[in-house]
Chain A
């Protein structure tokens, strides 16, 4: 039993790091613009399809595809801001929700038209195989994906705390009026934030495609997972996001193995509800 628990904690933590990376993109957009982007999970799905294209048409390995998909998703994010999100900023919340849910439906329908309903997977990645350490099986694809996610999360943390643009994003997140007074261009900052949040999904998409397949319906799964990680962490704490990702990933893995695979969502959303009930600002959120 002990070995099973540790094995699941290893598996779950590795998946959790990727969930934290996806949730980081969502957190930046929500934190800065106060916009609930329901299409965030579908950006991950779109990134996975772009990864599939790059892998099959250009014969790139999935791990290399972010070189192409990161700028692409950044541009898509920026365009989404200027053409869609900006128009909803002064509207009611319900309008913003309708617009991002509409975008989600549009992306899902679009991928069905372009890539059809069947799942797509890349046949090969250089990071395949596994290693047995002390009786525990560690798969390279998960291990390297978790490592890369961790590096990107640290890089974003440094970017937000050390660069002018990063500080502008945080300032806009804290107090938009004060930030505007000191010369922060909110339009540029908002567009950049959505671009950055989308670009992070491109990295996650590339990593996920080293061991998963993509289908048009999987965006919702990532959207809900990343919302759960974000709610657990609260806004404004990147280390909190990482820890929350690890908690969600481990809870998912343990519930699949020790209880019932169908209980996975139940366990995750029970955590979600409990956090919202007991600590609405999250475990690590700012006051």
Chain B
């Protein structure tokens, strides 16, 4: 009986000791820092969306290089970042598996990706469960509307792109002494296209424009001549269009061949018309097309110039939207790590502390802001930046140039299109 009681006592003592050690002595002990901070790149590196993922990865790699060259994370004793990558594939399942794989293999403090919204939503189930910060470059509004705690999106969301496209056209018309009264709104039928179109519709109504034509279509549409013919019949003053990628080429070529060109055509989201690959594929047909952009390649700051220069040297073209978004996203992460190091010196890499650090950010200068489309980065509890806005690029003499906001324009906008005929 006595021996049973002492065994029980021993078990209670062991349990108490184990429990105390697991608590870390009440949280007063400093947790050991790793010798580097691992950051995950989870992008679609194969399949139909590989073009975006590949560019995004280059943007991240350059940002990590620049952050490390600048001395790493100062508040963490100059800890350097290390980028590890995993393919997110093309489907929700591959994205989920990619997230599981990168977290179990590398234990990153944060993951950047996944460009495509449905992949982001799928992977965020895993990052939320595992408490890993996900810095999203997918623009669909609802990505930040699911109550995720560890998800942040510095880039302007899709509806902000749609609104920017309409506001730009209205302002450009005013500047040219014209008045825009009617608009046609086109979008590919994913949630991304619809978010853009919703923003454009709201902005059109706010600007007293009449929407004379509106159509959603699947992005793999083979022949768009019926749509072009219908637009010609509706005769809008300008067209706002959210293409995905291949459809932008199809629309631009068909508009050109039909010979029926409205006063202006502006793309929203995903940089479909001004992407270097689109311009290469379209040649002269790309001329005068404009598109919203989540990044300003012409921003006249030292950090941005350095990024653009090195990106161009590596790829032969200016940073695409995917690359730009991830370049400044990595710098935003670096700023959050700095903040966490200062605010939570005992456990700066704890996901809850890092999340709190993100929510504390209020950046108006520094490398992140120098490469960001506006001069203010802050996050709401849902993870969006309320100060985000898209810039507008226009293809002029075969080169994408920043034309809006007018005070940050690289060159003056060409408005209306010289080849417009109605």
Where the two chains meet, the residues of A that have a C-beta atom closer than 8 Å to any C-beta of B are: 4, 7-8, 11, 15, 112, 116-121, 123-124, 128-130, 137, 139-142, 211-213, 215-218, 221, 225, 252-254, 256-257, 260-262, 264-265
Besides A141-B257, A217-B48, A221-B220, 18 other A-B contacts (C-beta < 8 A): A11-B226, A117-B49, A121-B253, A130-B257, A137-B232, A139-B257, A213-B253, A213-B281, A253-B225, A253-B226, A254-B226, A256-B217, A256-B224, A257-B227, A257-B229, A261-B215, A261-B217, A262-B216
A211-B253, A253-B226 are known contacts. Are A261 and B218 too (CB-CB below 8 A)? yes
A-B contact count (CB 8 A): 115
In the bound complex, CA of A218 to CA of B223 (Å): 13
In the bound complex, CA of A275 to CA of B103 (Å): 51
What residues of chain B lie closer than 8 Å to A216, measured between beta carbons?
A: 48
Q: B245 at the A/B interface (Cβ < 8 Å)? A: yes
In the bound complex, CA of A256 to CA of B222 (Å): 11
A116-B50, A217-B48, A260-B216 are known contacts. Are A252 and B223 too (CB-CB below 8 A)? yes
CB–CB A137/B258 < 8 A: yes
Taking CB as reference atom, which chain A residue is nearest B223? A15
Q: B246 at the A/B interface (Cβ < 8 Å)? A: yes
- Kindly list the 3 A-B residue pairs having the minimum CB-CB distance in the complex, ordered from nearest: A123-B283, A261-B217, A257-B226
Pull 8 A–B residue pairs with CB atoms less than 8 Å apart, ordered by A: A4-B230, A8-B229, A11-B229, A117-B50, A129-B259, A139-B254, A140-B257, A211-B254
Q: B282 at the A/B interface (Cβ < 8 Å)? A: yes
CB–CB B48/A215 < 8 A: yes
Where the two chains meet, the residues of B that have a C-beta atom closer than 8 Å to any C-beta of A are: 46-51, 189, 215-218, 220-227, 229-230, 232-233, 245-246, 249-250, 253-254, 256-260, 277, 281-285
The 8 Å CB contact of B249, one of A121, A142, A256, A257, is A121
The 8 Å CB contact of A117, one of B48, B217, B225, is B48
The 8 Å CB contact of B277, one of A118, A123, A260, is A118
In the bound complex, CA of A262 to CA of B250 (Å): 16
CB–CB B223/A213 < 8 A: no
CB–CB A139/B226 < 8 A: no
In the bound complex, CA of A8 to CA of B46 (Å): 37
CB–CB B49/A253 < 8 A: no
CB–CB A121/B230 < 8 A: no
Interface centre among A119, A124, A130, A139 (most CB of B within 10 A): A119
